[in-house]
Amino acid sequence: MRIAIASDHAAVDLKAELREYLIGLGHEVADLGPETADRVDYPDYGYKLAGVVAEGIADYGVALCGSGIGISIAVNRNAACRCALVSEPLSASLAREHNDANVIAMGARLTGVDMAKACLDAFLATDFGGGRHAGRVEKLSNPTV
């Protein structure tokens, strides 16, 4: 899979860990930055990640900041993205199965490396369930449906 990953300064270390983990699993990973822990604004990286996913350059995105909240809000400003803030594998799996989430968000100050890896595993291993969920998901990107 093609996966884009981005963070703010608070999550740059978690981003590096997850980037290497995903590469080790055989995924093609685009690291959208930042490269250092110098202060940056999470919306800039959230918008950048959303654009890459919306354009189909990446199949999925991983958005990280201190809490995961701010960057998930930024990503969700793009109607083509369905970013789910998760903290454990069940929410990651349900985000894919029920909501067809194409971006997963986590907070580096709240989620440890091992739990973040478990969330990624669940997210990437789960397919969208379709069926009764399909119409609801369509309304997320097109509220006039």
Q: Which strands form 83-85's sheet, in the order they lie side by side?
A: 28-31, 2-7, 60-65, 103-107, 83-85
Question: Is 109 annotated among the ligand-binding residues?
Answer: yes
Question: pLDDT category, 145, cuts 50, 70, 90?
Answer: low
Residues in Cβ contact with 28 at an 8 Å cutoff, skipping those fewer than 6 apart: 1, 2, 3
Question: Is 66 annotated among the ligand-binding residues?
Answer: yes
- CATH number, residue 31: 3.40.1400.10
Residues 110 and 55: their CA atoms lie apart, in Å, by 30
41 burial level (CB within 10 Å; 0-12, 13-18, 19+): middle
Average pLDDT over residues 23-27: 98
Question: Is 68 annotated among the ligand-binding residues?
Answer: yes
Q: pLDDT at residue 131 above 90?
A: no
Question: Is 8 annotated among the ligand-binding residues?
Answer: yes
Q: pLDDT at residue 94 above 90?
A: yes
Question: pLDDT category, 97, cuts 50, 70, 90?
Answer: very high
Residues 109 and 140: their CA atoms lie apart, in Å, by 29
Structural domain count of the chain: 1
Catalytic residues: 65, 98
126: left (phi over 0), alpha (psi -120 to 50) or beta: beta
DSSP per residue, 50-61: HHHHHTTS-SEE
Instruction: Tell me the residue range of the domain where 123 lies.
Output: 2-141
36-91 pLDDT, tens digit each: 999 999 999 999 999 999 999 999 999 999 999 999 999 999 999 999 999 999 99
Question: Is 99 annotated among the ligand-binding residues?
Answer: yes
